Structure 1
Amino acid sequence: MLRRPSRDAFAVPGQPWACIQIARKQVVASQPLHENDTVIAEHFLRRWRSAGLIDDGAVERIGAWEAAHRRPLWLWALSGMGALAIGLGLVAVVAANWEEIPAGAKLAADLLLTGLCAGFVFVAWQRDREWPRELGALLLFGLVIGSIALVGQVYQLQSDPWQALVTWLALATPFLALVTFSRLVGALWFAAAVLTWFSAYEPLERLIGSLASSAARGDLFLLLLYLPACLLVIVAVLRRRWPPAEDQGELMLKLAVAGLVGAVSTTVVAIDSRLVSQVAPVEIWLGTAATLLAATALWIGGSATQRRPMIALLGVSFGIWAAALLLARAWSAEQKAGFEAIFGLLFIVYWAAIGWLAAHAGQRVLFGLAFTVIAMRLLILYLEAIGGLTATGLGLIGGGVLCLVLTWIGWRLTRRLGRGAIP
């Protein structure tokens, strides 16, 4: 990828900056290109030159800059293979002699390695060395959970996995929050939090179940899908408010919103398929509280242009999620077909709302995804409504035609969205 060039590097005489900015969004990034990426960039440069977005002079300047900053991919691959081989060799040697190593030596070696890594992270942080700091913090993040596992093995501690994971996050979160700002570490931090949440499913279910009477208790799986998404939205907004970690917080917010959409979609599908036995009233109340907290964080933590689409998506998600839970409580086996149609329509309405919000925000990829999901759901409903071999064959033909028609419509809408024709 190319380093961020100056505005003058794209200032082609006779062409407005607004037009050149289209090319800049595709070319500009934060690191030099590898060899394979250079081929891709040259392909786009030829396309933009053919379209008249940039002239030959701009192509030559970009090509000359890239030639001076090219990094051979094979050297990176070779060095990575060497580092991996050394790591695997050390693991193999230690594993082969694990039983013969005294417990004190294991703990001392682990403490020494962890301390050296922590010192390396501290020095890199003081000297403002970005990638050494990020990679060191990531390694330290892994060493902390390894140390917890080692202590548990040496002292034969009998505890549930979720307790070790909670301890891991409690120890690692302070230094991750202080010294890491990259999107990679943010994504792995996010994944660790989600893993910890679902590893504690049973104690969380018991805790929430204790808030409800025995007659009102039900399957809390859907609530435990929805709650972490709202909580991570709050964490991501707080993270985004710190300027050095703004990019990391932005990625975490996108992941949290994706989790929210996934949780709501899973809720509708799970209830439609009767994978949930009973829904407790406490779910809706706790979901309401979590949604209000997330909406408050979004309202405080962003500008009007940023917060309105997010709050709108949050509100639509909660509305569909709550409606699905209420329908689950009213489910009737005698009216199974009617309820399945309602849940299918509810799923389509939800993704149609996502597509509408994406169109207004100019998010072509999200709009295309929403349109595709709706098309697939319509196809499934179409195939579920038919029966028999002949009808199935005709249904497949009709479903294929439906997919082609929807693809054509989606392509036309996406092109209009790219030109800003969708209001």
Structure 2
Amino acid sequence: MSARKIAEWHDAGLIDAATRDRLTAYEAEHTHPLLLWAVWGIGALAIGLGVVSVVAANWEDIPGLLRLGVHFALLAGLLALLVWREQRLDEASPWAVEALLFVVAALGLTFFGHIGQVYQTSSPLWQPLATWLVLFGPLLLLTGRSWPSAIALLGGMVWCAWEYAGVMADAGISEDIGWSIWLALVVALPVMAAPIAAAMRARSWREDFWVTIEQLALTYAVAGASFASGFASIGAFEADPSAAKLAAVLTCAAVALVAGAGVAAVRPSVSGRMTGAILAGAGAAMVLAYAADDRNVAAALVFFALWAGIAAAALAAQWRGVFQVAVGAIAVRLVILSFELAADLLMSGFGLILSGVLILGIGWAAVRVSRRFAPAREDAA
């Protein structure tokens, strides 16, 4: 906060002179020398890039066992530092622990790739990802403090699940109903992190970490339902859908419904109930999208219903940002639908003019709706 801004607040009558002086003194005491920090950062970056360049230029000349030894020693040293000095690092800065944890997790993940390179081995990507989750997932769960650890953990779960499903689908077993249900469970499993995080956020001092886990799981479910409606508009489920595909869709929907019920049960506040309702709505939207396959308008209506429900939940829970995202998503889908229904108009100059006017009109309406109805405040999700 700048001294000029504090002076403006005082001149506008928002704060008195005593408050102005206290704010000024506090800011002067806690001001960071940005220029000095920038110089240190540039210097550290230059040294890091130089080291990387030297190692990369001589990579093949360095014995593989030596490279692995250095990699493992660095990983073990940082892990020991995290375990034995976590409290002191946290007292100095919680972000120091979070940054160190993220670096340790990244070194652990790349170590498996390094082993494969040295010993010239290969395996499906989901196998080292699964091993990394087993070894480093508990560490992230027990010590993660904010969004970097949460993204690493849930992102790793989603990545591993889709890699596994892709390998199995390429093997041709996804057409079997039993295997289709199993693969759908694997892909939908990250959504179940939502009720677990909802239960932990009230019991843990690392609330930010668990809140982010819950939000990421919710985002994953909503993204899946949104993509399902988009794929349905182009007939991705095929005109004659198989029983295996229907079983997979129903399985994913069931997982979302269970996750939504779990969040609402363990967090009965308005925010918790609305989160649960969105998860359940995402599950229902997947089934409706499957039924609307290869029908543009019907698939678009599923998308609109999903995001209109999200907007309604955001209003109830006072999530201003979520409401604005929902309005924007509906506006974008309206534009896409108009192009789908009148693609021939785009081949003429008059059609392009009409399309431009339509886009501007939808954008103007979205901004008006967002400003008029968006909650005045932002509550925690």
> Structure 2 length as normaliser, TM-score?
0.83
> Given that residues 324 and 343 in structure 1 are in contact (C-alpha distance below 8 angstroms), is that contact kept between their aligned partners in structure 2?
yes
Q: Secondary structure at the match of 2:236?
A: coil
Alpha carbon RMSD of aligned pairs, Å? Answer: 3.2
**What's 2:115 paired with?**
151
Residue 186 of structure 1, aligned match among 139, 146, 150: 150
Q: What corresponds to 1:324 in structure 2? A: 289
1:117 maps to what in 2?
78
Match of 1:298 among 263, 271, 277: 263
Task: Return closer, same or farther for 1:347/1:49 CA change in 2, 3 Å cut-off.
Answer: farther
1:350 aligns with 2:306: yes
Per the TM alignment, residue 371 of structure 1 is displaced from its structure 2 partner at its CA by 1.8
Inter-partner Cα distance in structure 1 for 2:364 and 2:316: 25
**Equivalent in the alignment of 1:253:** 214
**Aligned match of 1:202:** 166
1:411 corresponds to? 371
CA distance in 1, matches of 2:215, 2:204: 17
Q: Percent identity?
A: 27
**C-alpha offsets along residues 267-302 of structure 1, whole Å, 9 cap, x if unaligned?**
111110223434612123312431243134313432
More relative contact order, 1 or 2 (CA 8 Å, 6+ apart): 2
| 2:61 partner SS | coil
1:341 to 284, 294, 297: 297
Cα distance in structure 1, aligned partners of 2:154 and 2:234: 30
Conserved? CA contact 1:229–1:256, under 8 Å = yes
| Matching residue within 140, 146, 150 for 2:104 | 140
Quote how far apart the aligned CAs of 1:319 are: 1.4
1:212 deviation in Å? 0.6
2:333 to 373, 377, 386: 377
Question: 2:85 aligns to what SS in structure 1?
Answer: helix
| Alpha carbons 2:221, 2:282 under 8 Å: kept | yes
Structure 1 residue 378, shift from structure 2 partner: 2.6
Name which of 275, 279, 284 aligns with 1:310: 275
Residues 408 and 346 of structure 1: CA distance in aligned 2, closer, same or farther (over 3 Å): same
* Alignment correspondent of 1:81: 42
**Closer, same or farther in 2 for the Cα pair 1:371/1:179, shift >3 Å?**
closer
Q: Structure 1 106/245 Cα, relative in aligned 2: closer, same or farther at 3 Å?
A: same
Question: Contact 2:185/2:252 (CA < 8 Å) preserved in 1?
Answer: no
Quote how far apart the aligned CAs of 1:187 are.
2.3
Query: In structure 2, do the counterparts of structure 1 residues 154 and 307 end up closer, same or farther at CA, with 3 Å as the change threshold?
Result: same
The alpha carbon displacement at 1:247 in A equals 1.2
CA distance in 2: counterparts of 1:45 and 1:300, whole angstroms = 48
Shift of 1:135: 2.5
Matched, 1:282 2:240: no
1:103 equivalent to 2:59? Answer: no
Q: Tell me the SS of whatever aligns to 2:62.
A: coil
1:16 alignment partner in structure 2 = none
Q: Unaligned stretches of 5+ in structure 1?
A: 1-37, 332-338
Instruction: Give 2:230's aligned residue.
Output: 269
TM superposition shift of 1:189: 2.6
Aligned mates of 1:290, 1:296 — CA distance in 2? 10
Distance in 2 separating the partners of 1:192 and 1:45? 47
Asked if the contact 2:270–2:316 (Cα under 8 Å) also holds between the matched residues in 1, the reply is no
Q: Which amino acid aligns with 1:368?
A: Q
- Which residue identity is paired with 1:91? V
One-letter amino acid of the structure 2 residue matched with residue 393 of structure 1: I
Deviations 1:236-286 (A, max 9, x none): 335535412221010121122122221111111111022343461212331
Would you say the 8 A contact 2:154–2:190 is kept in 1? no
Shift in alpha-carbon separation, 1:405–1:249, aligned structure 2, 3 A: closer
